[in-house]
Amino acid sequence: MRLIRFGAAFPEDERTRGKQGFLRAVEEYAVRFLKTTSPMLEGFWYIATESVKVQVGRPCAAVLCNQSLVLFRDRRGLIHALDDRCPHKGVPLSSAWQEEDSLRCPFHGWRFISSGECVEIPAIGHVAHPSSTSVCVKTFPTQEQDGWVWVYMGNDRCRKPSSRPPSLPVPADGGPMVSVRESAEAKVRWDFAVDSLMDPAHVPFVHNRYFRRREAARKKEKVFTRLPLGFRTISQNVLLPDTFIFRALSPGLGSATTTVDFVLPGIHSERWEIGKRFASVMLVATPLTDERSRFDICVGWNFLRGIPVGWLVRRTLRTILGQDRKVLELQEQGFGRQGRMLLNLDSDTPAVWYRQLKKYHFDRLTGVHDSQHPVPEKITLSWIT
């Protein structure tokens, strides 16, 4: 394992004390940061729900980053997200009925349009409230992408998004793909859910015979490079594992080029290229509350497009997400008793990077100009899976 420079996160003597000193510093830093930072990240897009679940005339409730939301689709087909609370007496607006492109609270009939403005109060003659600003409902930018409803959770420093929501990787030629989606909630804090997105060592145990065969484990070396708010590894001429998932991708288990990205707030994307065959996955850890998270996964492929295998893919995805949910809820139980983790292996380094990337993002939002990106420009990590 090479010495990773974490910049100002560690004292200079720790960075020059050799591997053991470095590993102790990694562990101490990760534990300290885990205990002292908010689990939520503002200034990012998050998945609220699947697009098909938001129908015209049927407002629905969602929760993101401890924020209750109401989603509704207007007559043009656009989805809007508002704070799920009437400012009058607090009734959830997800219980409202939709009137054209507005929501009417079922308690006193206050009517709100998509901008959050209250345009009608029956008790004062079906006119707007005289103090319009005090009765506005907070709104959130919303976009649809890859069959998901994405909601932007900003703050005073980043009120509006600077880019579109993340998207499922597509072939270089832009050719058509088939895609399916699945979600699963878990009673686990968000950091643990994100950890699982970049934890290679858990795959042959939690997902044995799906992505890896435990008895066929071998040493791997991965070269990581830096992304603006994440990291990437590209592997060429990779021999695909002998599992039914990869046999569907390549019956002969040919060599592939794989690209794996992780970016904040908690998005793992992966693509496989074998000749003209292309497949990709985007797995997102979505924070709901301090105690609950959700996994949202989208898988796409450009072959077998005429064969109806979507139901089988969804069934497989439900099984895989259920495996993660089970083991992470066990981790939550054990962590609650001691509140400490040992993160000192090469395969744990991405989890440390993630926590440092959170701090790096917080520093940038608060105007810390000398904050250093925690991921090296290039580094090789190794593990056996």
Q: In whole angstroms, what is the distance from residue 271 CA to residue 266 CA?
A: 17
Q: In whole angstroms, what is the distance from residue 263 CA to residue 49 CA?
A: 20
Q: What angle do CA 145, 137, 131 make, to 5 degrees?
A: 150
Residue 369 backbone dihedrals phi, psi, to 5 degrees: -85, -20
* Architecture in CATH for domain 44-153: 3-layer Sandwich (2.102)
How do beta strands 142-145 and 139-140 pair?
unpaired
Give me the DSSP letters along 175-204: ---EEEEEEEEESS-HHHHHHHHT-GGGHH
Give the start-to-end residue ranges of the domains of the chain.
44-153, 178-384
- pLDDT computed for residue 262 by the predictor: 98
Taking the alpha carbons at both ends of the chain, their separation in whole angstroms is 16
Q: In whole angstroms, what is the distance from residue 192 CA to residue 183 CA?
A: 17
Two tokens at 208? 């044995």
Tell me the CATH class for 178-384. Answer: alpha beta
Helix ranges (DSSP H) in the chain: 12-15, 19-36, 190-197, 203-206, 244-249, 310-338, 349-365
Residue by residue, pLDDT tens for the chain (385 residues) are 333 333 333 333 333 344 455 455 555 555 554 444 455 899 999 999 999 999 999 999 999 999 999 999 999 999 999 999 999 999 999 999 999 999 999 999 999 999 999 999 999 988 888 876 677 999 999 999 999 999 999 988 888 999 999 999 999 998 999 999 999 999 999 999 999 999 999 988 998 877 666 777 889 899 999 999 999 999 987 767 666 677 777 777 678 899 999 999 999 999 999 888 899 999 999 999 999 999 999 999 998 887 888 888 899 999 999 999 999 999 999 987 777 888 999 999 999 999 999 999 999 888 888 889 999 999 999 999 8
Q: Residue 287 forms beta bridges with which residues?
A: 293
Q: In whole angstroms, what is the distance from residue 206 CA to residue 21 CA?
A: 31
